[in-house]
Chain A
Amino acid sequence: MCAESAADPEMNLTPALNPPRARLRLLAALRRNAVGYFFLLPALLAFATFSWYPIARGFIISFQKYDLVKGAEWVGWSNFEFVLNDPLVPIAWRNTLQFTVLGLLIGYLVPVALAILVNEMKRGKSYFRLAYYLPVILPPMVSVLLWKWFYDMDTGLFNAILQGLGLPTQRWLFDRNLVMLCLVVLSTWANAGGTMLLYLAALQGVPSHLYEAAEIDGAGLWRRLWHITLPQIRGVMLILLVLQIIGTMQLFTEPFVMTDGGPANATLSVVMLLYRYGFRFYNFGAAAALGLILFFVLVAFSILYLWLTRRVSQSQ
């Protein structure tokens, strides 16, 4: 008896004091929301203090001339004028988009493929999981040293392989046409293991009876893959796709560490330019302005993405 009445507030009250149903529903809704927000509270506090507040302050700087010693003064739109008139900015956008597209073709599909293949292996799954994740564990200092050697024009591994195969050697990081691809390959190698793990976790959730049913229906390997496996992990795939695009548009570490934006600005990305503005030339207003522009582009993209995926799922 008690349990039921605790669960249902409506039963708690005597008829004489029974307020109208609408108000009770409102109270129940409030309580539900309160519980919901209670669980959200730690995150809300953390984000408010360490993300939203600093980001907002950062955005304000885009309208200021920010002096580290003397403080800030308002300059209106002039930072944005500066950024939009800088001939390096379109170059940076072009490079970033180029990396994002390449990153999608290579860096997005590779982990999915790896996960599906590894999942099929009867033996050695643990080995593969560890082996492909090792690049993520490896200290960056080591991977940078090694990859710089891989791409070295004279003593490097890749050119040695090409020579062995009788193919012409490449200039890799000093070739304006290849350098972006070099960075994408490096980035994929360094990160695929992590996303692969997420896909593996998702693949665990695919019920086997679906496969059995499909086999009974006579579906071959590829049809099963296309009609069962992929749709089942579609949620994770779509989410990781949008996260990846958002992430690669903020490309910074690889060009910073490997090529410093070169050669001849071929790998100058938007965030690299932002870093230069702020941390090399001490122009924090311009850096913040560029950051704000990037933010709006990414927000617009996310909204577009959400709208598209909703259209797609609605049409199904």
Chain B
Amino acid sequence: MKSIRSMIGGAALAAVLLSACAPQTVVVTKEVEKQVEVTRVVEVEKVVEATPVPATIIKVTSTNGPDENSGTQLARHRLLTLGFKEIRPDVDIVANPSPFDASTFPARLAAGTIEDTYLVAFTEPQNMIANGYAADITDLLSKWEGFSSFNPGVLQVVQDANGRVYGLPVNGYAIGLLYNRALFKEAGLDPDKPPLTWDELREAAKVIKEKTGKFGFQLMPATGEGGWLFTAIAYSFGANMIEKKDGKWVATYNDEATVKALTLLKEMLWEDETVKLVQDGVAAATSLTNGEAAMHIKAPDLLFWMHDNLGAKVENYGQGPMPQAGGNATLTGGAAWMFSPKASPEVLQAAVEWSIYRDFDLATYELDLKTKKERGELVGIPSLPLFTGDYQARRDEILKKYINVPLENFAPYLNATNITMKPEPPVEAQKLYTELANVLGAIASDKNADPQQLLDESVKTFQTQVLDQVK
């Protein structure tokens, strides 16, 4: 036992911390796999406890810890921390079950009581980075073998203009079209063929309204999320929102592309009357689950919420790519782990190593999927590959074993190859989304609103109030 343990410990250490070649990682994974069964936690515990405790213990705190009421989650976490203890016996992991909360984050960061690492949605990192509230982990990551094969399209979410990395994305989903297959069938539309262009979408919405009486489409004209989704829509029309011209940042979202996007939405809302307005994410999820509207611009990760929280049946839903109108682009959603700028270097290093071990170690990945499947949660909703090449291939192999969603429903989404993942607007994206929500709100409440005029005014205000102040 002891010799295997030290072999595993040594091999894992080598694999994770130093540049090791692929074959060794495979060996390590197979060995650790044998210990993955939850019932053997106690044995591993005894072994770890036999190790002498190092003089100084580094404590790493994180959010999104295991639910204290879930036996499986607790067991999984226990095994993870034990496995990590073998690599870094001087590190204690304390995982707080609370999630990240934007309202309490500033206070806790100011006081230094924020966790060392926290899981945030993709809309947060750029804002944090720009304000200096994210720790630069580029150097710590470069020691990790897997880093070089990280998918750049996803990594850009946590990078600044100079390519420095400030976080670790753990999933990424291209925003596309989430639709209700059952309603499509009822309206006589082919559920395997969601609309691929905006004109097609407009037609489909009309048909659904006519044949089923339900709304064909739903729109979120409020909150930052609404502005973010509209940005994705505008991207699909070819807009850029904010561009750099002659060294200055210029708001360009009153261009032809954005106006076209906004006009289409307005006409669908007021003329076709095929659009349901939803106030926020909860309303959007509820409305889709209830079958009140058939299509929604969103990434497929909403299905997790709809299924786990609201009891939706996954077979009834499908995902298509973002409908296009010349832009061939869309935005990405997802979650990333960020690191506290107030963490000391040792803590930061330990936190990064822990993150890599927890999320990218193949054995724990498999255990995770296994646990999710046992709990009845969804496994296999298509997401952007986090890595490229060999490592990703191995991850995909593992995933195939546990998929419990009907992948055919996502075929159009997976097969769309000519759509680019465009990064978020380069500066002040949060303020842009708030401003866009404003414009959308005007369209939603005023039948006679003029998209061109609204966008012109908005661009003018945004340029003078926001972009001109950026140094």
Contact = CB atoms under 8 A, between A and B. Distances in A.
Interface of A: 67-70, 86-87, 145, 148, 153-155, 171, 173-176, 258-260, 262-266, 276, 278-282, 284
Interface in B192-226: 215, 221-224
B222 A279 contact: no
Contacts of B102: 279-280
Contacts of B103: 279
12 contacts: A67-B131, A67-B132, A153-B277, A155-B292, A171-B445, A174-B221, A174-B277, A176-B446, A260-B222, A263-B222, A264-B441, A264-B445
Interface of B: 102-103, 105-106, 109-110, 127, 131-133, 215, 221-224, 276-277, 279-280, 282-283, 292, 341-342, 430-431, 434, 437-442, 444-446, 461, 465
The 5 closest A-B pairs by CB, nearest first: A263-B441, A264-B441, A264-B442, A262-B441, A262-B222
A148 B283 contact: yes
A281 B215 CA distance: 35
Contacts of A69: 109, 132-133, 341-342
A278 B106 contact: yes
Contacts of B109: 68-69
Contacts, number: 83
A68 B446 contact: no
Nearest to A176: B445
Contacts of A153: 276-277
Contacts of A176: 445-446
B106 A68 contact: yes
Nearest to B107: A68
Given A148-B279, A174-B445, A262-B223, 18 more contacts: A68-B109, A68-B110, A68-B133, A69-B109, A87-B461, A87-B465, A174-B221, A174-B277, A176-B446, A260-B222, A260-B224, A260-B280, A263-B221, A263-B442, A263-B444, A263-B445, A264-B439, A280-B434
Contacts of A173: 279
Contact of A264 (B277, B438, B461, B465): B438
A280 B224 contact: yes
Given A176-B446, A263-B442, A282 B279 contact: no
Nearest to A256: B103
A173 B445 CA distance: 9
A280 B430 contact: yes
Q: Considering residues B283, B439, B444, B446, which has the most beta carbons from chain A within 10 angstroms of its beta carbon? A: B444
Contacts of A276: 434
A265 B457 CA distance: 14
Contacts of B283: 148
Contacts of A174: 221, 277, 441, 444-445
B183 to A, nearest CB: 15
Nearest to B110: A68
For the residues of A in contact with B, the DSSP-based class is: loop
A89 B89 CA distance: 55
Nearest to B342: A69
B447 to A, nearest CB: 10
A133 to B, nearest CB: 27
Q: Considering residues B224, B279, B341, which has the most beta carbons from chain A within 10 angstroms of its beta carbon? A: B279
Nearest to B280: A260
Contact of B106 (A259, A260, A262, A284): A284
Contact of A154 (B222, B292, B461): B292
B215 A154 contact: yes
Contacts of B127: 282
A175 B465 contact: no
Contacts of B215: 154
Contacts of A265: 438, 441
A294 to B, nearest CB: 19
Contact of A86 (B224, B434, B465): B465
Contact of B223 (A155, A260, A264, A284): A260
B276 A154 contact: yes
B278 to A, nearest CB: 9
A247 B115 CA distance: 34
Contacts of A145: 282
B20 to A, nearest CB: 35
Contacts of B438: 262, 264-265
A276 B102 CA distance: 11
Contacts of B105: 279
B106 A282 contact: yes
B430 to A, nearest CB: 6
Contacts of B431: 281
A262 B133 CA distance: 28
A155 B276 CA distance: 11
Contact of A282 (B131, B222, B341, B446): B131
A67 B110 CA distance: 8
Contacts of B465: 86-87
B283 to A, nearest CB: 6
Nearest to B441: A263
B228 to A, nearest CB: 13
Contacts of A279: 102-103, 105-106
